[in-house]
Amino acid sequence: MFDATTILAYKGKNKAVIGGDGQVTFGDSVLKSNATKIRTLGHGEILAGFAGSTADAFNLFDMFEDFLQDKKGDLLKSVVEFSKAWRKDKVLRRLEAMMIVLNNDHIFILTGNGDVVEPEDGELASIGSGGNYAISAARALKKHSKLSEEELVRESLSIAADLCIYTNHNIKTLILEENK
């Protein structure tokens, strides 16, 4: 069982940002402290993050990229078709994995159960073992600070790393600037 990830995404007014820590843990051992669990997809127009095993992440990212190409970059259509395929695949649906995907217009949490969840506020989403810590910090910082989108994601993940033993301070972020 992997307990290894905190991913936080923020679809702000000026930018879409996703961030993740770098720790991969197996049981009570840290296997790697500088893993990259986020990436850009769809010719740099989609940000994605993954919670689950690394091998599964590569397969699911590649699979989602195929749906993005097939749907000509339409994120909404891609997540619906991807979740159907993930749910129907006998091997993939058994994965204990989740993904966040976002662009400047939408943000979604995807699971192997076929779930496609757009967060209630339409702005913040988190997954992984430190996800609740990160989103709580992000909501408070959003309400009580004037941090930029990237600063908010970084600071929230740092707070999660202070609290969650499966999250570290090796934080990476990716940014989509608002189309003007």
Contact in structure between 160 and 167 (CB atoms under 8 Å): yes
Exposed (0-12), middle (13-18) or buried (19+): which is 66, by Cβ within 10 Å?
middle
Exposed (0-12), middle (13-18) or buried (19+): which is 1, by Cβ within 10 Å?
exposed
Mapped onto helix, strand or coil, the DSSP state of residue 96 is: coil
Catalytic residues: 5
Residues near 63 by Cβ (< 8 Å), separated by ≥ 6? 82, 85, 86, 92
165 phi/psi in degrees, rounded to 5: -70, -15
Nearest to 133 by CA among 7, 18, 39: 7
Exposed (0-12), middle (13-18) or buried (19+): which is 146, by Cβ within 10 Å?
exposed
